[in-house]
Amino acid sequence: MKDIGHKMIFMMSKKLGFCQAQHLIVYSLHKHQNTIRMKKLLIILSAALLLACNPTAKLPVIKSDADAAFESADYEKAYTLYSNYIDLAKANNVAIENDMIVKLAQACTQTDRTDEAIVLYEQLLQNDQNIHLLAEYAQMLQRDGKSNEELALWNKYSSSIRTAELKKLRIERLIFLNASNENYPAIVTLFERKGSIQLSKEAQLACVNALANSKQTDLAVRTCNSLLKENPDYIEALEWKAKYYYHKADERYKYEMAKYNKKKNATTYAYLRRDLKKVSADFRIARDTLIKLRQLDPSNKSYIRYLKNTYLRLDQKDKAAKLEKLLK
């Protein structure tokens, strides 16, 4: 009987179309109402053809299967099912839930369909209620190395950001993106406008570098000292401080010595001694910072070399000689 039913569906739908076939079955149902088996068969056939005449009836099943695939991290299957759902819904003027588009965008991200995901995220961000999606959208662009696109994204939607968490993420990503392009003025501007936002230590150090490269060295030093007060063992900040004071002192030392060597007399020698005291103060800061770095990383040859040269400038030759042995 089942095979007969399948043949009936095929033959009738092929000749008449599904909806006309449905009407014919209903007519047959009334005509053969005394035949119980025929009646059951025709009811089943009628239900099947009713489904065919109303394709939107499939949508709940597709959504359920898509959600199940998404939850089980089968993103390829989820992408296919969500796409099918949206196509079918659009074709039949059925409203599409926001969550459906979000999951499709996320499935695109997980299956490396970046271009499709970009289109979907841009569509979603037209609604301010979806502004939280900026974080995952930007993360996708960061993953794919689309630095310029991410930079443009954060600038485009800056005025729509309201939460403190997203504001912090925005300013830090802009700092790092501009640092990779060596756009120091942009970083300085971000630093000046950050308000009460507490930046990560990495972002603060990027600001220190930007300030120094923008010839705002006093502010760079103060910012670095503040950073080290909060993070006393932050190696990268200690390195910046040690190298800054070492090179500052060494350049001043060479300058003062060259000036004195051009005109040696009692007066210029007095000036030299006075100026070298200031230089020594900077060398001592470099020395103390390098000692701290060696405590954190005793085998680092760069620290040993810098510290040895610092001892030489401070006329501490015995200590310099001991460090020299470690470099051999």
- The answer to whether the beta carbons of residues 319 and 311 sit under 8 Å apart is yes
- The answer to whether the beta carbons of residues 62 and 86 sit under 8 Å apart is no
- Quick one: pLDDT at residue 35? 60
- The answer to whether the beta carbons of residues 107 and 66 sit under 8 Å apart is no
- The answer to whether the beta carbons of residues 240 and 209 sit under 8 Å apart is yes
- Quick one: pLDDT at residue 48? 53
- Quick one: pLDDT at residue 5? 46
Residues in the chain predicted with pLDDT less than 70, given as ranges, are 1-53
- The answer to whether the beta carbons of residues 135 and 151 sit under 8 Å apart is no
- The answer to whether the beta carbons of residues 211 and 217 sit under 8 Å apart is yes
Integer angstrom CA distances of residue 28 from 9, 10, 165, 248: 13, 16, 67, 100
Of 5, 6, 46, 41, the closest CA to residue 24 belongs to 46
- Quick one: pLDDT at residue 184? 98
The type of residue at 42 is: L
- Quick one: pLDDT at residue 2? 42
For 324, counting Cβ atoms within 10 Å of its Cβ (0-12 exposed, 13-18 middle, 19+ buried), the class is: middle
- The answer to whether the beta carbons of residues 204 and 227 sit under 8 Å apart is yes
| Helix or strand run (H / E) with residue 225 | helix 217-230
Integer angstrom CA distances of residue 125 from 131, 132, 137, 138, 192: 6, 9, 10, 12, 28
Spatial separation of the C-alpha atoms in residues 70 and 306, rounded to whole Å: 55
Of 180, 198, 178, 196, the closest CA to residue 188 belongs to 178
Tokens at residue 301, please?
Answer: 């040859």
- The answer to whether the beta carbons of residues 18 and 10 sit under 8 Å apart is no
- Quick one: pLDDT at residue 328? 84
- The answer to whether the beta carbons of residues 190 and 181 sit under 8 Å apart is no
> pLDDT of 27-80, one tens digit each?
454 555 556 555 555 555 555 554 556 778 899 999 999 999 999 999 999 999
- Quick one: pLDDT at residue 25? 47
